[in-house]
């Protein structure tokens, strides 16, 4: 070895050692996860409420114009994945102890939150599954949990990325696939699953974070002997009825209840083989954390035939109505209805369209929309709305009392492609027709009324997976973006645009904020890059 080379090697070794010894140490008290996030963003929604509301005020209307990009981490070393020409960050980054954790399908990175420098990278070689997205990790003590496209729960050492254990919970050959972020609550890792190509039943699993032992399973459709089977023509149809659990739910520590949104019914567009309401697909379900037992449900789309896939976040918030404090839950559902429920009982307060729609003839006595059969997909084509929302996170600001959601107004033609008595799979197809308009809306969850809305100018039709995600802060800012690479900050009360910044791609994952070294950071993924913004020194 030449002396220069030896010197270089020595420097590299010394620098590596120095960096390693200064690496932040990650340890998260599970009891801290539900608290208001200030110096961390320790779980998918920041806390368990799904509000995506931060109490931080360093960045406010008066100085937001000075927000500046601090660093960008670009995923440069992955390239095309199956069905995805370039990596797209769809996760909500978690930040614990100065370390950010981000994902795309099959990959996890730990980054230094101060610099965006990579600390470690975990790379999974999948054996099947759909690589459509990955929403992020969960953290318990010093363990990071990650779900793979082929349905493995992987436990990693948060400080090194070394694998601790893994456990398979669903078969990719049955078209189950996983994109979710595990939800960590106390000593439970709650894992949901996706996959609606093959008429499989959805389920939710709870695992022991220490060793991966299965604690309970809740099935999205009723098993033998359950009275809810009366909403299906027979047990076989229920066994193949879908209701995937592919987005993280929310949790009320006081009531010890998980609130989980369940996905579309199967067969997806062809409902003729499954007359009935098809419980508990397309619902919001309240489950006991310790047992997984169903406490109550509200079915947002009974007998769905439009892939209304009810997986938008159920937001938990409290309000005073008629002088009485109420524990409530709100959801801007994909079927176009805004729903507000009493989260103790499941009783409805508001069920009201928030986009123009005409597919329901009214509400049932339980408050559930009643679908009009003529709007079902048909051989000749049937016109109905596109999905009004999707998985990207809405937000709620308790100060304004408003829910903020990116929504779509528009129509699609739905065809029935399988008109047999025993359809299977999707059994149909839908494609938007005409202009589909993206609209940011601020909705009063106590009335369902739209307080303000902003139509995004664009020549592009809204994507079916509308977003991006939203963050609300105590300085009455709303962070989100358009479909043309702009991060945009709105005033929470009126929807005025206060600031924007052009990025390399459209915001594609969750936006988080937390304090680090006295600075409020805003961190989010846009395309293949993770961006960190803060005020300059």
Partner 1 sequence: MEKLAVQERVRNDRSIPCSRRRWRGPGLLRVPGCLLAGGIVALAAASIGQQTQNAGEDGVRQYQNMTPEQRAAATRQFLGLGAVPDKAAAARGAPVYQGNCAFCHGPQARGATGPGLITSDEVLGDDHGEHLLPFLRKGRPDKGMPAFATMPDEELRDIAEFLHLQVEEVANRGAYRVLNILVGNAAKGQEYVVAHCMSCHTAETFAHIAAKFRSPDQLQRAWIWPSRSGDERLAVTAAVKTADGPTIAGRVTQVSDFRITLVDGAGQTHVIDREPGVDVRMNDPLAAHQQMILTLTNDGMHNVTAYLDTLK
* Residue list 482-501, contact with partner 1 (CB under 8 A): 482, 484, 486, 488, 497, 500
Sketch the per residue contact string, 158 through 187, with partner 1: x for CB under 8 A, - otherwise.
--xxxx----xxxxxxxx-x-x--------
198 near partner 1, rule: CB under 8 A:
yes
Chain Cα centroid distance, residue 74: 22
Nearer residue to partner 1 within complex by CB, 48 or 337: 337
DSSP 106: T
Q: Give CA separation, 381 vs 377, 417, 418, in Å.
A: 6, 10, 13
390 near partner 1, rule: CB under 8 A:
yes
57 near partner 1, rule: CB under 8 A:
no
Closest separation in Å from C-beta 316 to partner 1: 24
Nearer residue to partner 1 within complex by CB, 33 or 244: 244
Site for partner 1 in 285-344 (CB under 8 A): 306-307, 309
238/508 Cα distance (integer angstroms): 35
243/294 Cα distance (integer angstroms): 15
Site for partner 1 in 126-165 (CB under 8 A): 127-133, 149, 154, 160-163
Q: How wide is the angle at C-alpha 350 spanned by C-alphas 349 and 356, nearest 5°?
A: 170
463 near partner 1, rule: CB under 8 A:
yes
272 near partner 1, rule: CB under 8 A:
no
379 near partner 1, rule: CB under 8 A:
yes
Could you tell me which of 44, 49, 52 has the C-alpha nearest to residue 96? 44
Among 67, 102, 200, 350, binds partner 1 (CB under 8 A): 200
Structure tokens at 47: 């806390």
Nearer residue to partner 1 within complex by CB, 251 or 414: 414
Residues 6+ apart with CB under 8 A from 5: none
10 near partner 1, rule: CB under 8 A:
no
Residues 6+ apart with CB under 8 A from 354: 332, 336, 337, 338, 388, 405, 407, 441, 443, 448, 450
27 near partner 1, rule: CB under 8 A:
no
Nearer residue to partner 1 within complex by CB, 58 or 429: 429
Q: Give CA separation, 15 vs 4, 175, 301, in Å.
A: 16, 46, 57
- Token look-up 């789309």 returns 301
Query: Which segments within 141-231 are labelled E, that is strand?
Result: 143-147, 152-157, 163-168, 183-185, 188-192, 203-207, 214-219
432 near partner 1, rule: CB under 8 A:
yes
380 near partner 1, rule: CB under 8 A:
yes
19 near partner 1, rule: CB under 8 A:
yes
Nearer residue to partner 1 within complex by CB, 319 or 413: 413
Nearer residue to partner 1 within complex by CB, 58 or 486: 486
Among 25, 69, 399, 422, binds partner 1 (CB under 8 A): 422
Q: Are strands 497-502 and 143-147 parallel, antiparallel or unpaired?
A: unpaired
312/295 Cα distance (integer angstroms): 20
Q: How wide is the angle at C-alpha 84 spanned by C-alphas 82 and 88, nearest 5°?
A: 130
Could you tell me which of 50, 48, 44 has the C-alpha nearest to residue 312? 50
382 near partner 1, rule: CB under 8 A:
yes
Contacts with partner 1 by CB under 8 A: the residue count is 116
Closest separation in Å from C-beta 537 to partner 1: 27
Among 1, 4, 18, 80, binds partner 1 (CB under 8 A): 80
Segment lying near partner 1 (by CB under 8 A), choices 122-130, 284-292, 296-304, 324-332: 122-130
358/337 Cα distance (integer angstroms): 11
481, 499 Cβ separation under 8 angstroms: no
Segment lying near partner 1 (by CB under 8 A), choices 196-204, 285-293, 335-343, 444-452: 196-204
262/255 Cα distance (integer angstroms): 20
Segment lying near partner 1 (by CB under 8 A), choices 18-26, 49-57, 341-349, 510-518: 18-26
Segment lying near partner 1 (by CB under 8 A), choices 15-23, 250-258, 281-289, 516-524: 15-23
Closest separation in Å from C-beta 326 to partner 1: 33
431 near partner 1, rule: CB under 8 A:
yes
Q: Are strands 529-534 and 519-526 parallel, antiparallel or unpaired?
A: antiparallel
4 near partner 1, rule: CB under 8 A:
no
- Token look-up 């939710």 returns 204
């Amino acid at each position: 070895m030449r002396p220069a080379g030896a010197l270089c090697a020595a420097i590299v070794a010394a620098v590596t050692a120095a960096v390693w010894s200064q690496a932040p140490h990650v340890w998260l008290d599970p009891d801290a996860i539900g608290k208001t996030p200030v110096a961390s963003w320790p779980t998918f929604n920041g806390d368990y409420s799904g509000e995506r509301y931060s109490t931080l005020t360093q960045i406010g209307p008066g100085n937001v114009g000075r927000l500046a990009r601090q660093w960008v981490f670009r995923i440069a070393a992955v390239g095309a994945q199956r069905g995805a020409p370039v990596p797209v960050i769809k996760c909500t980054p978690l930040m614990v102890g100065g370390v950010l954790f981000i994902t795309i399908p099959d990959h996890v990175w730990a980054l230094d939150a101060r610099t965006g420098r990579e600390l470690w990278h975990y790379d999974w070689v999948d054996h099947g599954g759909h690589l459509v997205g990955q929403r992020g990790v969960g953290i318990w003590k010093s363990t990071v949990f990650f779900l793979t496209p082929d349905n493995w729960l992987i436990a990693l050492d948060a400080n090194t990325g070394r694998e601790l254990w893994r456990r398979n919970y669903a078969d990719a050959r049955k078209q189950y696939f996983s994109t979710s972020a595990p939800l960590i609550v106390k000593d439970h890792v709650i894992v949901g699953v996706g996959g609606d190509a093959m008429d499989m039943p959805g389920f939710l699993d709870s695992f022991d974070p220490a060793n991966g032992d299965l604690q309970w399973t809740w099935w999205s459709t009723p098993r033998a002997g359950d009275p809810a089977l009366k909403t299906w023509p027979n047990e076989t149809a229920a066994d193949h009825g879908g209701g995937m659990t592919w987005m993280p739910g929310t949790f009320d520590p006081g009531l010890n209840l998980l609130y989980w949104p369940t996905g579309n019914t199967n067969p997806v567009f062809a409902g003729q083989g499954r007359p009935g309401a098809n419980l508990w697909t397309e619902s919001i379900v309240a489950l006991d954390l310790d047992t997984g037992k169903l406490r109550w449900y509200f079915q947002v789309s009974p007998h769905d035939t439009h892939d209304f896939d009810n997986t938008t976040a159920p937001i938990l918030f409290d309000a005073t109505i008629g002088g009485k404090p109420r524990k409530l839950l709100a959801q801007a559902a994909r079927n176009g209805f805004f729903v507000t429920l009493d989260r103790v009982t499941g009783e409805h307060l508001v069920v009201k369209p928030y986009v123009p729609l005409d597919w329901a003839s009214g509400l049932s006595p339980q408050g559930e929309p009643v679908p009009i059969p003529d709007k079902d997909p048909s051989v000749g084509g049937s016109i109905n709305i596109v999905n009004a929302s999707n998985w990207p996170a809405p937000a709620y600001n308790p100060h304004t009392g408003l829910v903020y959601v990116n929504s779509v107004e528009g129509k699609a033609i739905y065809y029935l492609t399988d008109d047999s008595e025993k359809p299977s799979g999707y059994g149909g197809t839908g494609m938007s027709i005409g202009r589909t308009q993206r609209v940011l809306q601020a909705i009063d969850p106590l009335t369902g009324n739209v307080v303000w809305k902003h139509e995004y100018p664009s020549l592009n039709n809204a994507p079916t997976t509308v977003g991006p995600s939203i963050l609300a802060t105590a300085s009455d800012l709303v962070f989100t973006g358009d479909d043309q690479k702009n991060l945009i900050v709105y005033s929470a009360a009126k929807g005025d645009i206060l600031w924007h910044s052009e990025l390399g791609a459209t915001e594609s994952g969750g936006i988080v904020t937390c304090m680090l070294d006295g600075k409020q950071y805003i961190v989010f993924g846009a395309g293949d890059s993770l961006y960190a913004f803060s005020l300059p020194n």
